Amino acid sequence: MRRTFPRAAVGILLLPVCCFGTDETPRGQGLTEANQERLVLDDMRDVSDWYNGSPDETVISSSDRHVREGRPALLFANTVDHTRGEKNYPIGWPRTGKDLGRSGPSDWSGYDYFECWIYAETSRERLPGKPLGIGFYHSGQKRSSPFPLNVAKDAWSHVVIPVDRLLDAGDVRRLQFNISESDYRHGDRVDFYIDRPALVRYVEPAVARFELERKLMLTGDRVLRAQYQLAGYRQLDTTRVEFAIFRDANAPVATTGSTATRRGELTLSLPGTLAPGDYTARLCLRDAQGALIDRQDVPLRVIAGPFQES
């Protein structure tokens, strides 16, 4: 089955075959930690600006009982009580949060993802299926981006949420963690140590995703489309993206390219009839001087059609 891509107008440009030398080594650091910048939203030394939405059941404090990065963590400690809490919702949602409009950046659109580390302790033998939730709140009524978090008991869990999954990454006014008491028994104790909430972005451009419309082609096919997504922000506007297919270490069978965008689609026109066999589809990123920054390969197979001899 062929995957249908939304069609986009993309300029086609044939590139010199030397642009895709198979032995060329990218100079960039790709999607590695060495290519990341972090903006820590709170070092948790002073948690007085974290509100407590359920003081009858929850205690908020700065704690060094469990820390991952050598600094205190936010302790979100809860004793589940199905008879107290909010008057209209005794089985409610104990929560804590931070108003970013007062003490943090609210425009996250220039970052790639939000991250934090969470350590969970509980009196239960195991945590429920949905032990904790996180919400990002935007301007206006009932505008939020909630996510369930699958954290582990007695271990650190790394939480990573791409900012492009938020309803409005350019307007994040509040960050909140909560539990749902309906997922817990009356009297359960559950504590979460929340460490180093941060915004992360890649510096140099890197290939985050490279996906072909199809990985199995017929020898008579004339077009191959691919979608890509890039990370990184430095000099992205002068970066070029190139798309080619080739066999073994031979020169590319076909190439195309365009100015890089954060997300894009490239359409590759194929010359004549392709020989059956295994190919490699490659996406390359190049700087303004033509140096290779990053690349990603995807395997591609070409087979003879039903009315063609193999």
Considering the domain architecture, whether residues 55 and 24 belong to the same structural domain is answered as no
pLDDT greater than 70 at residue 224: yes
| CATH code of the domain containing 283 | 2.60.40.2550
The per-residue pLDDT of the chain, averaged, comes to 88
Q: Determine, yes or no, domain membership for 309.
A: no
Angle at CA of residue 56, ends 53 and 57, nearest 5°: 80
Considering the domain architecture, whether residues 280 and 164 belong to the same structural domain is answered as no
Q: Determine, yes or no, domain membership for 298.
A: yes
Considering the domain architecture, whether residues 179 and 69 belong to the same structural domain is answered as yes
Q: CA dist 16 to 22, 24, 27, 74, 255, Å?
A: 14, 15, 20, 55, 8
Q: What is the pLDDT of residues 141-159, one digit of tens each?
A: 889 999 999 999 999 999 9
Among residues 166, 201, 236, the one where a domain terminates is: 201
Q: What is the pLDDT of residues 101-111, one digit of tens each?
A: 766 788 999 89
Type and span of the H or E element at 100: helix 100-103
Q: Which of 228, 307, 232, 303 is nearest to 268 (CA)?
A: 228
- Residue position matching structure tokens 């060094």: 64
Considering the domain architecture, whether residues 193 and 212 belong to the same structural domain is answered as no
Question: Could you tell me which residues come within 8 angstroms of residue 179 by beta carbon, excluding any fewer than 6 positions away?
Answer: 78, 80, 93, 94, 95, 131, 132, 133, 190
Among residues 148, 173, 201, the one where a domain terminates is: 201
Q: What is the pLDDT of residues 236-264, one digit of tens each?
A: 999 999 999 998 777 899 999 999 999 99
Considering the domain architecture, whether residues 238 and 114 belong to the same structural domain is answered as no
Considering the domain architecture, whether residues 153 and 74 belong to the same structural domain is answered as yes
Write out the residue range of the structural domain in which residue 248 sits: 17-30+204-303
Considering the domain architecture, whether residues 181 and 241 belong to the same structural domain is answered as no
240 C-beta neighbours (distance < 10 Å), count:
19
Among residues 201, 223, 254, the one where a domain terminates is: 201
Considering the domain architecture, whether residues 299 and 249 belong to the same structural domain is answered as yes
